[in-house]
């Protein structure tokens, strides 16, 4: 009996230490996420182009925030400014905002364009100054000005992803200015929950889901497969503000089944999130409604 209790304590301590190491690893990786300055061509010009992400370790349903900063430390205005970003097709753009010296400003958003920059990637172009595209896009970055652009994405899949390419183009003193940076690796997990239960080491239950078609219009089907042969399963769909737009439940038959969601005609295009729960299992995913 003593040996059995001692073994249980050792196992509990081992799991506890493993969880601490996981948490510390996530914190260390998150702490290393910082702004990196892009390479400027031609060199020697006092302009800073900076790129950063809010985290390289995300949970499915989290928002990936890409920040672009442009600082003009020269004595001349910077014109015809535009940014480009290539992202995997698994990422969907939610919103783009821009400020100059902290004051909100208009910026043109174009894309996604498939395979226009890199094969298999979606590219987005954000334009600050291009009267040819729109008379409202005439933003010059004056000396000492700082332009901040924030793009928010949500990922529709789980796994390892790379933001392979980004750049900035502008004109200063009649000459072209170009900036580019290094790729950024992103890891997206299904869940960030960490449990001290021994099932963490050898899971004996799971809930798998698949949404199709996705993007969708007018309806989407969410298939599921669970290790529970019977019981009740619930589904809730949220919008990007966390508001419930649909909920449903059903009885599980032989561990499998599906839900079907046909949004109301008043439902706007955009990204939605679904969560399925049954017993101690849960799964989340993203949906993209296109009208």
Q: If we measure between CA atoms, which residue out of 64, 58, 60 comes closest to residue 30?
A: 58
Can you give the pLDDT at residue 108?
Answer: 86
Q: Return the ∠ at Cα 31 (arms to 271 and 57), rounded to 5°.
A: 35
Q: Average pLDDT in the 31-47 region?
A: 79
- The answer to whether the predicted template modeling score (pTM) of the entire model surpasses 0.85 is no
Average pLDDT of every residue of the chain? 80
205/145: higher pLDDT: 145
pLDDT at 14 over 50: no
The average pLDDT across 168-197 equals 78
14 against 238, higher pLDDT: 238
Q: What is the per-residue pLDDT across 103-126, written as a single tens digit (0 to 9) for each?
A: 999 888 888 888 766 778 888 999
Domain with residues 35-189, CATH architecture: Sandwich (2.60)
Residues 263/38, Cβ–Cβ less than 8 Å: no
Residue 64 has pLDDT above 80, yes or no: yes
- The residues with which 40 forms a beta bridge, in sequence order, are 179
CB 45 within 8 A of CB 143: no
CATH class of 198-289: mainly beta
Percentage of the chain exceeding pLDDT 90: 34
First to last CA, the chain: 65
Give the mean pLDDT of 226-250: 88
Q: What is the pLDDT of residue 133?
A: 59
19 vs 142, residue with greater confidence: 142
Distance, in Å, from the CA atom of 154 to the CA atom of 140, rounded to the nearest integer, reads 30
Q: Which of 60-64, 176-180, 182-186, 190-194 has the lowest mean pLDDT?
A: 190-194
Residue 22 has pLDDT above 70, yes or no: no
Give the pLDDT confidence of 238-247 residue by residue, as tens digits. 887 778 899 9
Of the pLDDT bands very low, low, confident and very high (cuts 50, 70, 90), residue 25 is very low
pLDDT of 24: 45
Please say if the pLDDT value at position 206 is more than 60: yes
Residue in the block written with tokens 């032989």? 254
Whole-number Å distance between alpha carbons of 123 and 118: 8
The C-alpha torsion from 134 through 137 and 138 to 144, rounded to 10°, is -170
Token pair for 142? 């004056």
Predicted local confidence at residue 227, as pLDDT: 87
Question: What is the pLDDT confidence band of residue 200, given thresholds at 50, 70 and 90?
Answer: very low
- The confidence score (pLDDT) of residue 135 equals 59
With 70 as the cut, is the pLDDT of residue 21 above it?
no
Answer whether residue 194 shows pLDDT above 70.
Answer: no
């Amino acid at each position: 009996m003593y040996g059995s209790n001692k073994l249980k304590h050792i196992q509990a301590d081992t799991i506890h230490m493993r969880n601490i190491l996981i948490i510390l690893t996530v914190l260390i990786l998150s702490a290393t996420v910082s702004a990196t300055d892009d390479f400027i061509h031609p060199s020697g010009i006092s302009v800073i182009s900076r790129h950063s992400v809010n985290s390289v370790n995300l949970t499915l349903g989290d928002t990936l925030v890409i920040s672009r900063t442009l600082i003009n430390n020269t004595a001349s205005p910077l014109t015809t400014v535009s940014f480009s970003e290539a992202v995997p097709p698994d990422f969907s753009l939610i919103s783009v905002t821009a400020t100059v010296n902290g004051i909100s400003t208009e910026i043109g958003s174009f894309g996604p364009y498939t395979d226009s920059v890199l094969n298999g990637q979606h590219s987005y172009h954000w334009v600050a100054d291009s009267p040819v595209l729109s008379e409202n896009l005439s933003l010059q970055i004056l000396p000492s000005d700082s332009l901040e652009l924030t793009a928010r994405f949500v990922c529709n899949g789980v796994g390892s992803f790379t933001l392979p390419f980004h750049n900035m183009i502008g004109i200063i003193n009649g000459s072209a200015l170009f900036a580019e940076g290094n790729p950024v690796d992103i890891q997206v997990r299904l869940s960030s929950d960490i449990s001290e239960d021994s099932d963490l080491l050898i899971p004996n239950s799971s809930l798998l889901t698949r949404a199709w078609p996705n993007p969708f219009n007018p309806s989407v089907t969410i298939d599921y497969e669970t290790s529970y042969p019977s019981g009740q399963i619930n589904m809730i769909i949220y919008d990007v503000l966390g508001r419930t737009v649909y909920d449903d439940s059903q009885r599980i038959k032989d561990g499998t089944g599906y839900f079907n969601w046909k949004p109301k005609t008043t439902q706007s295009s955009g990204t939605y999130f679904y969560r399925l729960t049954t017993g101690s299992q849960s799964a989340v995913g993203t949906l993209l409604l296109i009208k």
